[in-house]
Structures are given as C-alpha cells and as structure tokens.
Amino acid sequence: MGVDLRMAMRNFATGVCVMTTYADGPNGRTHDGVTVNSLTSVSLDPPLVSVCLRRDSTFLADLLDTKVWALSILDISATDVARAFAQKREIRAAALHTLSATPGEDTGALVLDSPAWLECRLRQHVDVGDHTVVVGDVIATGAQRGRRPPLVFLHGEYHAGRCQQQTEEAVK
Ligand SMILES: Cc1cc2nc3c(=O)[nH]c(=O)nc-3n(C[C@H](O)[C@H](O)[C@H](O)COP(=O)(O)O)c2cc1C
C-alpha cells in the first residue's frame, strides 16, 4: 500500500488558529499572520507549544528573526478570517488592517478578537522534511467565554464544532 498522508490526515479534525508575527524594517513594523492547524500543546511545565511551518515560508523567516509570535484560536464567526490568512502575503496584510487586532503586551505580535490566545517566545526550531517545527515558551494567555462554536477543519472544509455549553453539560 502506498502512502497518502494528505488523504489520511483529512480525517483528523483540528482547531484553527491565526499565527502572527512581524518584521521590523526601515519603514517601521510590518505585521503578518497565517492560518495554521498544526498547533500542539507540547508541555505544561514549562508551558510549551509547537507549530509546523512550511520551510520556504516568508512568515517563518520573519518569525525566526523576531523569535516571538501570537496564536489566536478561531471560532465559527472567523471562517473568512481563516480563509484570508491562508492566502498570499498581500491579501493577509490587507486582512490585518480590517480586523480588530491589538499588539500582545508581551510580544508585540497581533492578537485577534477571538475566544482564546497565546503569546510565545521561540525556544527551539527543528527542520524536519519540508517543514520547520517551532517550539515556543508560552509567556501569556487569555480567553473570553466562548459564545460561538469553535472553528474545526476536517475533510478540507471548515465546520462548526459542538457548542461549548453542550460539552460543559456533558462533563458535569
Ligand atoms: C486550515 C488551514 C491550516 C493550515 N495550517 C498550516 C500549518 O499548520 N502550517 C503551515 O505552514 N501552513 C498552514 N496552512 C497554509 C498557510 O495558511 C498558507 O500557506 C499561508 O499563506 C502561508 O504563508 P507563507 O506564504 O508565508 O508560507 C494552513 C492552511 C489552512 C487553510
């Protein structure tokens, strides 16, 4: 049997985030953000997360310079946001201007108005295959009570995850 990783992983439901960083140049700070679903919680003590980024990504190059980033976890109202940040850099830059986003206090990376966010500082990065795994210390987190279902990526499409209220009732 051959290997078709994409086909197999289409069946693995994930959450969706916008990951942001920036570049400081002669004309000031340029922010960028990309849609990612490879976020993994790696360690609780110390708090660490990882994200896999395409090795030839300009976003990755910026991140390896600044060594900081933010992750905003999206809900179903942000489907268009997820679509915009999976496009080329100019479209992403335009999207950042129209969104409600504020620089994170600890990193300066933009935090979107979203159910939860993390600010991270680079601890380690490893080139693996055609991607680079970045591992970051989580230096700040925030959450607001979610009123909407989380955004879920499955079978190459966006879906609404089960409502939080139902989940809370299920664990009571
Ligand atoms: C749902 C979804 C999840 C994605 N997750 C990742 C990811 O984890 N890592 C990655 O490198 N690209 C991921 N992408 C693709 C990037 O969002 C997209 O290629 C981005 O524009 C890359 O920016 P770049 O041109 O700087 O590489 C994802 C796209 C979608 C639609």
Q: What is the DSSP track for 81-98?
A: HHHHTTS-HHHHHHHHHH
Q: With a 6 A CB cut-off, is 86 part of the ligand 1 pocket? A: yes
Give residue-wise pLDDT tens across range 4-33: 999 999 999 999 999 999 999 999 999 999
- What's the rounded Cα separation, in Å, for the pair 65 and 152? 30
Q: Which of 12, 17, 37 to mutate to test the pocket of ligand 1 (most atoms within 8 A of CB)?
A: 37
pLDDT band with cut points at 50, 70 and 90 for residue 162:
confident
Radius of gyration of the chain (CA): 16
86 CA: nearest ligand 1 atom:
17
Give the count of domains, the chain. 1
Mean pLDDT of 143-149: 86
112, two tokens: 């979107």
Give residue-wise pLDDT tens across range 69-103: 999 999 999 999 999 999 999 999 999 989 999 99
Q: With a 6 A CB cut-off, is 53 part of the ligand 1 pocket? A: yes
Task: Please name the residue that has the structure tokens 């994170």.
Answer: 104
Query: Domain residues for 65?
Result: 5-171
Q: With a 6 A CB cut-off, is 36 part of the ligand 1 pocket? A: yes
CATH number of the domain enclosing 25: 2.30.110.10
58 CA: nearest ligand 1 atom:
26
